[in-house]
Structures are given as structure tokens and as C-alpha cells.
């Protein structure tokens, strides 16, 4: 309702003021308006002009901040940008409320088409891994290389740690979980996330923990936080059940770009046992397994992942 309210009607509740997202030193944020959605892009200016472009896509419940360490490690190698998927980070929800893997992939494609940066070196973690796999399969012209960190590809025996995430996609579960955890402090929530996502949560510095708590506090203030989580979780489950040419494994087989697969042996969400199948599915792939890493190797061992990514880029350039 506008300021010209009809008599007897109640004005809409004011939109709560949400604190700003954190921007690390050397990073810049910008907003990209596209029909039906607005995306926030986190950029780290390259160390020198002429470096090839790269785009980083986060996982479920994450944001572009998940790539800060890896982008810093690769600043002399690529011109890096990380996107907040619709409804996550600093990006508002999409107008159509569509959080499917296909919709997220469409958002990435539209961003790349609008920016004219493609082809790019494309990175994805977890849900973002599924998203960029779909992008690489349907728009090979946009992808120079593909780097997947614990990609959310269908597996028959899902990790036990992934069950609660999948359950979030069931009708009524997200509101129930929200009520049951109302008494949890942001610190408690962050510790739970770290214990699930990190192979060794002890690697997280006090400063990084504080930043994670601040981000959790900010997210919990978002009126659409739980809806975005639930709908995206449902989108992953739906993508897992798709068959035929739209199935994620079938699309993995269509990827032409040289691919780096990164798996953590302590991953509680995506089993490292899937590494062998993924290595067989992607036609031009190489595999990096990290014995002590969990679900977010690019945050746990950024230098190791960066070195493997640099080797992929160097080899693809020579070929």
C-alpha cells in the first residue's frame, strides 16, 4: 500500500533495517539489477590487468563470503567475483520465489550474459556445485574451466549429516525447526554449522568465528531467511530426483570444460565416496581429495585448493 492509504486500513509494517554484510579488506560489493531479481556481487580487484575472469558460487545457507579466502589466494591468477544467489547473502529473494537448482543456474547465466565476462573460470561449492554443473552443461560457451568443491550431486546413500538439510524442504519442517531453535543463540548456531561443515572446527580463528556470529545475527533478522533455506533445500531434493537429460549426473557427462573435483574425506554432507563416480562422469576431470577437510575445503585449505586450481588453469591454457 502506498502513502495514500484507504481510510480504515492499516499501513504495512515497516521493513526492518538489516545490518550491512561484512566486506573484507580488498573486496568491493555491487548490486546487479536484472528482470525479476537483484544479485549482489563481491569482487576482489585483480593484482594486475588482463587476468582471466572467474565466478564463485556458494552453497546452501552460504554466501559470497565463503569464497573470500580463496579469492584472495587467487588474486594474482584470476579476476575474481563471487555472487550471492537469490535470497542469500545480500541478494534479496527472487520475484517469482523460485529457488530450484535450475532457477539458480538461470540466475548465474543471466548474470554472466549481462556482465559480458564469459567465458569464466567457474567455481561452485555444495549447492553451488550443482548449480554450476548445470550452467556448464547448458551453456558451455560461458565456462572456461569448472572447479567443484563437494558438489551436491545425487547419491543413493546420503550422508547422515545431510538428512536435516533435506528435511528442511518438507512442508512445515522449517517453521517447526524455527520454533524449536528459538532459544539458540547465534554462537550456538555457528558452532553447530562449523561442526557440520569443517573437518576440524578448531582451525577456525577467533576472528573468523566472531565474523560468522555477526553474519548469523544478520541472517536471522532477514524476514525471508527460513523461506529461502527451505525452498532451496527442496530444490536440491527435486534436482536429485530428476531423471533423463535433466538429471545432474547426465548433465555432468555433458560438461566439456576441464574440471577440478575437490572432496574432503571428513565431509559430513557430501560423501567423499562420490569422488570416484564424479571423476568418471566429468569427461575431462582431475581429482583432489583432502584427508582432513570437511564440506568447505576452499575455506579450510584455501592455499591447497588455490594451487590445484592454478594448475588446472595453466594446463587448460596450454592445451
Distance between CA 98 and CA 95 in Å, rounded? Answer: 8
| Model pLDDT for residues 65-119, shown as the tens digit of each residue | 999 999 999 999 999 999 999 999 999 999 999 999 999 999 999 999 999 998 9
Distance between CA 74 and CA 69 in Å, rounded? Answer: 9
Q: What percent of the chain has pLDDT over 90?
A: 69
Nearest to 139 by CA among 280, 251, 276, 281: 251
**Which triple of cell numbers denotes residue 221?**
533478522
Q: What percent of the chain has pLDDT over 70?
A: 86
Q: What is the pTM of this model?
A: 0.89
According to DSSP, the β-strands at 79-84 and 37-44 are antiparallel
Which DSSP category does 171 fall into? T
Which DSSP category does 82 fall into? E
Residues sharing a CB contact under 8 Å with residue 245, sequence separation 6 or more, in sequence order: 251
Ordered structural domains, the chain, with CATH: 28-318 (3.40.50.1820)
Which DSSP category does 284 fall into? T
Least confident of 55-59, 137-141, 200-204: 200-204
Q: Are 287 and 147 in contact (CB under 8 A)?
A: no
- End-to-end CA, the chain: 59
Distance between CA 314 and CA 55 in Å, rounded? Answer: 17
| Model pLDDT for residues 34-68, shown as the tens digit of each residue | 999 999 999 998 888 899 999 999 999 999 999 99
Using pLDDT thresholds of 50, 70 and 90, give the confidence band for residue 306. Answer: very high
Amino acid at each position: 500500500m502506498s502513502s495514500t492509504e484507504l481510510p480504515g486500513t492499516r499501513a504495512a509494517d515497516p521493513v526492518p533495517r538489516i545490518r550491512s554484510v561484512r566486506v573484507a579488506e580488498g573486496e568491493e560489493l555491487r548490486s546487479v539489477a536484472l528482470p525479476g531479481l537483484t544479485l549482489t556481487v563481491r569482487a576482489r580487484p585483480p593484482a594486475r590487468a588482463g587476468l582471466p575472469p572467474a565466478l564463485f558460487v556458494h552453497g546452501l545457507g552460504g554466501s559470497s563470503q565463503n569464497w573470500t579466502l580463496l579469492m584472495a589466494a587467487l588474486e594474482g591468477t584470476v579476476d575474481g567475483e563471487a555472487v550471492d544467489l537469490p535470497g542469500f547473502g545480500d541478494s534479496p529473494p527472487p520475484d517469482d520465489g523460485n529457488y530450484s537448482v535450475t532457477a539458480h543456474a538461470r540466475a548465474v547465466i543471466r548474470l554472466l550474459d549481462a556482465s559480458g565476462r564469459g567465458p569464466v573460470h567457474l567455481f561452485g561449492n555444495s549447492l553451488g556445485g550443482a548449480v554450476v554443473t548445470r550452467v556448464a552443461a547448458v551453456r558451455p560457451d560461458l565456462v572456461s574451466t569448472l572447479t567443484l568443491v563437494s558438489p551436491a550431486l545425487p547419491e543413493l546413500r546420503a550422508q547422515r549429516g545431510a538428512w536435516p538439510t533435506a528435511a528442511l524442504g518438507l512442508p512445515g519442517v522449517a517453521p517447526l525447526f524455527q520454533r524449536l531453535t528459538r532459544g539458540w543463540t547465534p554462537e550456538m548456531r555457528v558452532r553447530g554449522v562449523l561442526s557440520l561443515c569443517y573437518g576440524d572446527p578448531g582451525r577456525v580463528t577467533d576472528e573468523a568465528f566472531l565474523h560468522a556470529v555477526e553474519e548469523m545475527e544478520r541472517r536471522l533478522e532477514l524476514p525471508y531467511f527460513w523461506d529461502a533455506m527451505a525452498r532451496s533445500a527442496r530444490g536440491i531434493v527435486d534436482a536429485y530426483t530428476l531423471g533423463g537429460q535433466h538429471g545432474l549426473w547426465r548433465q555432468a557427462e555433458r560438461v566439456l570444460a576441464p574440471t577440478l573435483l575437490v572432496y574432503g574425506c571428513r565431509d559430513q554432507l557430501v560423501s567423499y565416496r562420490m569422488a570416484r563416480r564424479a571423476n568418471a562422469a566429468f569427461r575431462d576431470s582431475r581429482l583432489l581429495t583432502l584427508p582432513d577437510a570437511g564440506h568447505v575445503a576452499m575455506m579450510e585449505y584455501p592455499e591447497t585448493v588455490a594451487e590445484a586450481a592454478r594448475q588446472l588453469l595453466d594446463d587448460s591454457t596450454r592445451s
